[in-house]
Amino acid sequence: MRCLFSIILVLLLSHEGTTLECAIPPEPRVRFFDSIIHYEGNRIPFSVLRAGWQGSDVQFTFTTINKLTKNIFVTYDSQAIISLKLSGKQIKEVEDGAFVTLVCLQELLLDRNNITKLAKNIFTDLERLEKLDLSNNRIEVIDDFVFSQLASLKILNLGNNRIEKLQNLAFANLTKLEYLNLERNEIGKIAPDLFLPLTSLSNLTLAWNMLNVEPEKWHGLAHLHFLDLAANNLDHFDPSYNFTFRNLRGLNLSLNSLSQLNVFEIKRHLPRLELIDLNGNAWFCDDLERIVRELNDSRIKAAPGNHTRGVRGIACSEVPGYSTRGTTLIVTTSVKTPTWVKKDELERYVERKIANNSEKIESSIATLRSFVVFVFALVCLFILFEILVRLDCCRSVIGRLRGGNELYVDNNDVENFRLLGR
């Protein structure tokens, strides 16, 4: 009987929602519920236009709800709810249709839960939703069309999950999205057309991932103003004519493995760039001085660091290839950057130098050994030759060497003198 009542109520509210004018209160007012049963038994309107209104934002005081089932938020006047906060409730699963009838909902907070998967019809009836926070969950994959029903969405936070894969159509229909946060995930690859539907996107955060691909392959992003690529695996950043985000004004390349930067190409293909963060890369001081000078000539400001040594506070090294990754930044993501200094690159550099020097020493030793053997062999031959000469064992050979067929005469040989006299 209760199931039948819920179905009828859903149908009535859905029909009402098609012609409903969502009234936004002049100031937010929160209503608290200590249980889902308390919420389902509500008889006070959520619409500011109705008598007895006490608030349009909903929060729950209980700490745990493992599963959001279908129709769980269906109640009296639920179609007028503006904000629903479910942060830190240990939610593991959200069924399709969990938010049915919340047609005026503009803000949905699902952060700090244990959600691992998003079903395709999870956001049914949320056509007016503008802010969705799914950060600090355990989501691994974003499937195609998951957010396609959120045509009014402007802010999407997927940060600090376990996302490894973004399907090509994961952001389909999000034409009004302005802010997308994908920081602190495990994203290693981005499809070229992934951001193509995001025609209004102005801020894209991809910090603390595993990206090592060229951003010039990404399509769309014509209105992008800020791109955060901090703390990835980028060892180069090569702008080209393929760049579609020519309106970019801020670029964060900190905490990567960059050692060179073509400022001329950056200015050419990103003509509106005003600020760039280069802290915490593998800069050699001479190269960094040149880059900063070229940036200044191009009227692009380099975000300063906090190092007393370096170039304008940006850490660098006299040892080529030494990474200053991990230094404190000025322009980074909202997450505080650790202040440790990574020394692996320096150790590897020293090891390479030692290995190279060892190879040179070994080569020199081998050459010297060969020379000593050669000299020793010559000395031995000379000694042997002298011994044979002194033992009169090589007269004929010596005679041939000295005079061809001429007879060799030894003054001590009396017999030879007699023969000569005859």
Structure-block tokens of residue 372: 């000593």
Q: Residue 337's pLDDT is what?
A: 35
First to last CA, the chain: 153
Number of domains making up the chain: 3
Rounded to the nearest integer, the mean pLDDT of the chain is 83
Q: Residue 125's pLDDT is what?
A: 96
**265 and 192, same structural domain?**
yes
**216 and 277, same structural domain?**
yes
Instruction: Decide if 65 contacts 74 (C-beta within 8 A).
Output: no
**Half-sphere CA count of 172, side-chain side, radius 13 A:** 12
What is the rounded distance in angstroms from the CA atom of residue 79 to the CA atom of residue 89?
23
Q: Which helix (H) or strand (E) holds 403?
A: helix 395-403
Q: Residue 399's pLDDT is what?
A: 58
Residue 158 belongs to some domain of the structure: no
**Cβ count near 45 (within 10 Å):** 17
Determine phi and psi for 2, rounding to 5 degrees: -65, -35
Q: Residue 370's pLDDT is what?
A: 84
Q: Residue 260's pLDDT is what?
A: 92
**199 and 132, same structural domain?**
no
**327 and 398, same structural domain?**
no
Structure-block tokens of residue 220: 């769309």
Residue 372 belongs to some domain of the structure: no
What is the rounded distance in angstroms from the CA atom of residue 114 to the CA atom of residue 88?
9
**239 and 190, same structural domain?**
yes
**277 and 204, same structural domain?**
yes
Instruction: Decide if 98 contacts 10 (C-beta within 8 A).
Output: no
Q: Residue 120's pLDDT is what?
A: 87
What single-letter DSSP state applies at residue 317? Answer: B
Residue 151 belongs to some domain of the structure: no
Q: Residue 56's pLDDT is what?
A: 97
**300 and 205, same structural domain?**
yes
Q: Residue 256's pLDDT is what?
A: 95
Residue 258 belongs to some domain of the structure: yes
Residue 228 belongs to some domain of the structure: yes
**333 and 222, same structural domain?**
yes
137-185 tens-digit pLDDT: 999 999 999 999 999 999 999 999 999 999 999 999 999 999 999 999 9
**401 and 304, same structural domain?**
no
What is the rounded distance in angstroms from the CA atom of residue 28 to the CA atom of residue 297?
48
What single-letter DSSP state applies at residue 338? Answer: P
Instruction: Decide if 297 contacts 270 (C-beta within 8 A).
Output: no
What single-letter DSSP state applies at residue 80? Answer: G
Instruction: Decide if 181 contacts 202 (C-beta within 8 A).
Output: no
Residue 51 belongs to some domain of the structure: yes
**183 and 134, same structural domain?**
no
Give strand ranges (E) for 187-271.
203-205, 226-228, 250-252
Q: Residue 216's pLDDT is what?
A: 76
What is the rounded distance in angstroms from the CA atom of residue 7 to the CA atom of residue 4?
5
Structure-block tokens of residue 58: 């909903």
Residue 370 belongs to some domain of the structure: no
Q: Residue 331's pLDDT is what?
A: 43
Determine phi and psi for 340, rounding to 5 degrees: -80, 160
Residue 149 belongs to some domain of the structure: no
Residue found by looking up tokens 């999205």 in the block: 177
Q: Which helix (H) or strand (E) holds 265?
A: helix 263-269
**191 and 109, same structural domain?**
no
Q: Which residues of the chain have pLDDT under 70?
A: 1-20, 241, 319-360, 392-422
**193 and 65, same structural domain?**
no
**Cβ count near 297 (within 10 Å):** 11
* Domain span holding position 405: 392-422
Please report, for the domain that includes residue 189, its CATH number: 3.80.10.10
**End of a domain among 138, 171, 202?**
138
